[in-house]
DNA sequence: ATAGTTGCAAAGGCTTTGCACCGCG
DNA sequence: CGCGGTGCAAAGCCTTTGCAACTAT
């Protein structure tokens, strides 16, 4: 089975869902395309501000919430206060290190989920693994 | 394979992990034992306040954070702002309705996760399903 | 003109922190 | 007395909202 390939140009992605590709939006979406690091609003803001010094945090929030409505980005379900954003161009799981809090992408064998479970209509699922990542493990020894 | 049965007495549970069973802590833990509804701090607070009117929200926070440190309770990874608490006496998954935001427990076939993936030490995993629950589905029709 | 965007400032909401008080060994 | 636990008040953050200025069609 082949993953559907999607266009990786932020401008085209935005147009596809009917959003005007403003400088800010393109920059934010491009950041997400280039940095697959599940960033927080602040990480995105701090980075793009170097190129667009007038960028406001509000616009980052606005854009990301818009992107979410259009299923361009998703949030990684964590138990942290800050939201972490994710593109999901391919289906994958996440490993969260309880030491350094870094979120790693993981390719797990797909699990079979019915479209309907206990009468609930299932649209999406996430698998989150937790533990100690390899870097933190070696730091300790 | 049999699930390990655990004592369901809040006092004993607290003592087992070395926490003194104060009135507040017992009440909070008992609430979680009796109400498997993935409550927020506020839900717990509002309920117990009826019996212990002097209870403070701070104490609810203090207790729950303590319980978490001792692995008595966990938080359900959602993308909401309020944390939802869960006991996990048995391993189960969660279904979150994107309409009413209710979190349902789900018994899914266990998935096989290695203790180590990509060099990361896996200690725990969560499966979160999302969609529309049966109640909200029928409301719409 | 008109609708859509941006960004500052303020508000809102959840959680943590500081600290005084209380109770119990 | 000393220690742990509680709870009020305040602070801290993340996020949203209100709104005025701006842009582009």
| A128 and A63 within one domain | no
Nearest Cα residue to A98 out of B41, B104, B74: B74
CATH of the domain at B49: 1.10.10.10
- The CATH number of the domain holding residue A132 is 3.30.1490
| pLDDT, average across residues A25-49 | 97
Q: Are residues B57 and B38 in the same domain?
A: yes
Write down the pTM of the prediction. 0.90
Interface of A with B in 61-80 (CB under 8 A): 75, 77-79
Which one has a higher pLDDT value, A51 or A141?
A51
Cα distance between the two ends of chain B: 42
CA distance B20 to B29: 12
Q: Are residues B67 and B104 in the same domain?
A: no
Partner A contacted by B41 (CB < 8 A)? no
Mean residue pLDDT of chain A comes to: 93
| Whether residue B54 is found in the same domain as residue B74 | yes
* pLDDT on residue A21: 97
Distance (Å) from the alpha carbon of A54 to chain B's nearest alpha carbon? 28
Check if B114 contacts A (Cβ < 8 Å): no
Contact B16, B7 (CB under 8 A): yes
Q: Looking at the structure, do residues A23 and A67 belong to the same domain, yes or no?
A: yes
Number of structural domains, chain A? 2
For residues A97 and A126, state if they share a domain: yes
A46 & A101 share domain = no
The answer to whether residue B52 is domain-embedded is yes
Cα nearest neighbour of A68 on chain B = B79
Subunit contact B122:A79, Cβ cutoff 8 A: no
Instruction: Produce one character per residue of A121-135: b if its CB has 16 or more CB atoms within 10 Å, e if not.
Output: bbeebbbbbbbbbee
Mean pLDDT over A105-131 rounds to 94
Q: Please indicate, yes or no, if residue A74 is contained in any of the structural domains.
A: yes
Asked if the structure places residue B132 within a domain, the reply is: yes
Is the CB atom of residue A41 positioned under 7 angstroms from any atom of strand D? yes
A26 with A73, same domain?
yes
Return the pLDDT at A1.
56
DSSP B10-72: HHHHHHHTT----HHHHHHHHHHHH--S---HHHHHHHHHTT-TT--HHHHHHHHHHHHHTTS
Q: Which residues of chain B have pLDDT under 70?
A: 1-6
Helix (H, G, I), strand (E, B) or coil at A17: coil
Same domain flag for A20 and A82: yes
Same domain for A124 and A109, yes or no, is yes
Position B79 scores a pLDDT of 87
The residue out of A53, A70, A87 marking a domain boundary is A87
Give a yes or no: residue A121 inside a domain.
Answer: yes
Cβ neighbourhood burial of A140 (10 Å; 0-12, 13-18, 19+): exposed
- Cα distance between the two ends of chain A: 42
Q: Are residues B54 and B19 in the same domain?
A: yes
Beta bridge partners, B124, equal A130
A81 secondary structure, DSSP code: S
For residue B4, tell me if it sits in a domain. no
Any residues with CB less than 8 A from the CB of A47 and at least 6 apart, and which? Answer: A31, A35, A39
Nucleotide nearest to B24 (CA to C1'): D6
Question: Does B69 map to a domain?
Answer: yes
Whether A1 maps to a domain, the answer reads no
pLDDT digits (tens, 9 = 90+) for B107-118: 998 888 999 999
State pLDDT tens for residues A124-135.
Answer: 999 999 999 999
% of chain A with per-residue pLDDT over 70: 95
Q: Give CA–CA dist A72/A14, Å, rounded.
A: 8
Whether B127 has its CB under 8 Å from any CB of chain A: the answer is yes
Within a domain: A63: yes
Do A131 and A69 lie in a common domain?
no
pLDDT, one tens digit per residue, over A47-83 is 999 999 999 999 999 999 999 999 999 999 998 999 9
> Can you give the residue range of the structural domain that contains A49?
10-87
Q: Is A103 exposed, middle or buried (0-12, 13-18, 19+ CB in 10 A)?
A: buried
Answer yes or no: are the C-beta atoms of A100 and A66 closer than 8 Å.
Answer: no
């Amino acid at each position: 089975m082949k993953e559907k390939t999607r266009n990786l140009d932020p401008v085209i992605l935005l147009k596809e869902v009917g959003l005007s590709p403003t400088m800010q939006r393109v920059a934010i979406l491009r950041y997400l395309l280039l940095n697959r690091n599940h960033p927080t609003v602040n990480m995105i803001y701090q980075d793009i501000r170097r190129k667009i010094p007038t960028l406001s945090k509000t616009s980052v929030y606005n854009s990301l919430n818009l992107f979410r409505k259009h299923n361009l980005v998703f949030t990684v379900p964590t138990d942290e206060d800050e939201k972490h954003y994710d593109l999901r161009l391919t289906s994958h799981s996440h490993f969260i290190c309880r030491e350094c809090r870094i979120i790693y992408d993981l390719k797990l064998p797909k699990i079979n989920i019915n479209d309907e479970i206990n009468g609930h209509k299932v649209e999406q699922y996430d698998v989150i693994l937790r533990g100690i990542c390899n870097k933190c493990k070696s730091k300790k020894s």
